[in-house]
Chains A and B, each alone.
Chain A
Amino acid sequence: MKELIKLGIKESTIKKLYDKLPFSIIFNIESNIDNVIDIITYLKNINIDCIDEILLYKPYIFYMSKEKLNKLFSEENIRIKVTKINNDITNLDFI
C-alpha cells in the first residue's frame, strides 16, 4: 500500500485500513492496487477531498473501472455531486 502514500493517502489511514477491514478484502485491494491508484487519481482530479474516508468506508468504489466512474460522474452536474460527496461520503452511494 506504499504506493497510496505517494498519492497523498495518510499513513494513519493505511494503518486503520489494516485494523478495520477483513484480511480477505485488504488482500484483494492490494492485489488490485493498479486499479485503486487509477480511481484515486481520478477522484483527486475531480476535486474529491475525502479520499482517505472513501478508502476506509466505501472501498467498493475501487472495483469500478475508471470509465464507469467517469460515466457516473458526467451524467449530471459534476460540481454538485462532488460538493455533496465532500460534505458526506455516503452520497457516493447515490451517484
Chain B
Amino acid sequence: MNEVTSLLARALDGEPPPELTTDDVLRAGRGRLRGRRIAAGGGVAAAVMAVALGAAALTGDGSGGPDPTQAAQPTLPPSTVDSAPPGPSLPLPPSTTADPRYVPHPSRATQLTKTITGAALLPGTINQDLVFQPYNFGYTAAVEVPAGGGRVNISIYQPGGQPPSSCLMPSPDAVCDTRVRDGLTVYVGIAGPGSVSARTVRPDGTWVAALAERTSPAVTVDALVELVTLPGLALR
C-alpha cells in the first residue's frame, strides 16, 4: 500500500504554488450562503403568495371572482414582503468588513521560526525544516514528513474572532479534549500516534494552531500543547 501511495505522490511532482487563498474560499462561501438565503427567501415568498391566492379564491363572492393574480395584490399585506429572511440584500456584517486585519511581515515570520525551532519541541528533522512564511493575515509553516506521508502544519494568525471552541482534528475517530497551560485553554485532538492537534487563542486575539498527521517520529500532543502556548507568539 505504501508503494501505491509513493506512486500517487509521484503524480504530484512539480506541484505549482497555490493560487487559491483562504479569502477566496471565504468569499465563495459567503456567496453560496447568500444564494441559499435568497433561494429560501424566494421559497417563503412563493409560499406566502400561494396561501394568499388560495385565501383569495376561497373568500371570493362566488360569482367566479376576480382574476386570482389581481386578488392577490390587496390580500398581500406589505409586511409579508418584508418577512423574507434578511441577508441577501444586506451588506456583510460589520464585524466582517470592518475588522482591521493583521498585516504579516517577513521579519516577524523569521522571529516566529526562531522562537519555535529554538524551543525544540518537535522531533529533530521536523523542527529543523520548520520555516514560517506570511500567509493571508498571519503566518504558517508546513513540513512534509516523508516517512508515512505525514505532515506538520502550524498557523499563527489574528482573525479577530471569537476563541475557538471545537476540536478540528481531521479524523472522525479523533478524541477531542481541553487542556490548560499557562492560563491558556488549549483544544486538543488525538487521532492516533503521531496524529494530534492543538490550538489556542492568546489574550490579544492571536490564534495558534498546530496539526500533526501521520508523523514519524511521532509528534506528541504534549509537545503541541507546549508549542501553541510558547511565549512570544502573540502578533499584537
* A and B are partners in one complex rather than unrelated chains: no
Chain A residues with a Cβ under 8 A of chain B: none
B residues near A (Cβ < 8 Å) are none
